[in-house]
Amino acid sequence: GDLVVSGSALIGQELQVGGSEEVTGSAEASVRAPFAAPIAPPCGCDEAQLFDVAGAVAAAAASSGGAESWSVDGAYEVTLATGSYYLTSATLNGATSVTVDGAVALFIDGDLMNAGATEWILSDGASLDLFVAGNLDVAGALEIGDAAHADAVRVYVGGDADATVDLSGSTTLYGSLYAPRAAVTFTGSGQLAGALFTRNLDVSGSLAVSSGAATTPPPSCQQPPSEPPAGGTAPGTEVVQ
């Protein structure tokens, strides 16, 4: 379809545009080529092939029996050990630090709202699968993962065609963002070291995307540990049993 850029866009691989280009600022690509429709879709783009993010969260809700929302104001630090966690919603205000210390799956039934500065830190050998059934709204600064763990972070967003991912300010994601039903908006500066799969992409400011692991749906949902993580759970968090 069409390519619309307001600001600057840098694409490190080949760029093919099938529709029109509307660029205010600059759009650079390592290689430009005439658009050629692929013989087969480059990914699971058909509606029947899309991973059901909302369904995965609903299954987690059924397993946990429900939980309170996760609401944090001001400076806060929390560590998530190996396990699966379910929340009705999550609002992080102020300076928040979330350490992922193991194989962690976090299911959010509503929206994930971030205001202020939030950092998700992965320990060596840790992994994060973050499922958001609603919208992802970030104002301020958000950093998830680091270059050494880019293959260990997967963020899944959006249960329907009205879902949005609104990233304003400074956003850095070392991992994959899978939001096939969502409209993704970057306002300000964004850095993505991984893969991006979205319905619409709107960039105002600057967005740098570098190559990383392909974004693929999880092959299965393994049973979580029978015991809660060491040190308990985050506020309003319930381990899925």
Q: What is the pLDDT of residue 233?
A: 43
Q: What is the pLDDT of residue 203?
A: 86
Q: What is the pLDDT of residue 212?
A: 62
Q: Using only C-alpha atoms, what is the Rg of the chain?
A: 18
Query: How many whole angstroms separate alpha carbon 218 and alpha carbon 197?
Result: 14
Query: How many whole angstroms separate alpha carbon 187 and alpha carbon 198?
Result: 16
In order along the chain (241 residues), what is the average pLDDT of each group of 10 residues?
A: 87 90 90 87 76 89 72 83 89 89 93 89 95 91 89 89 87 92 88 89 84 56 41 41 32
Q: Output the DSSP codes for 148-196.
A: GGGGGEEEEE-SSTT-EEEEEEEEEEEEEEEEEEEEEEEEEEEEEEEEE
Q: pTM for this one?
A: 0.76
Four-residue CA torsion sign, 42, 192, 129, 202: negative
Q: What is the pLDDT of residue 98?
A: 92
Is there a contact between 202 and 4 (Cβ–Cβ < 8 Å)? Answer: yes
Q: What is the rounded (10 degree) CA torsion for 9, 11, 16, 17?
A: -10
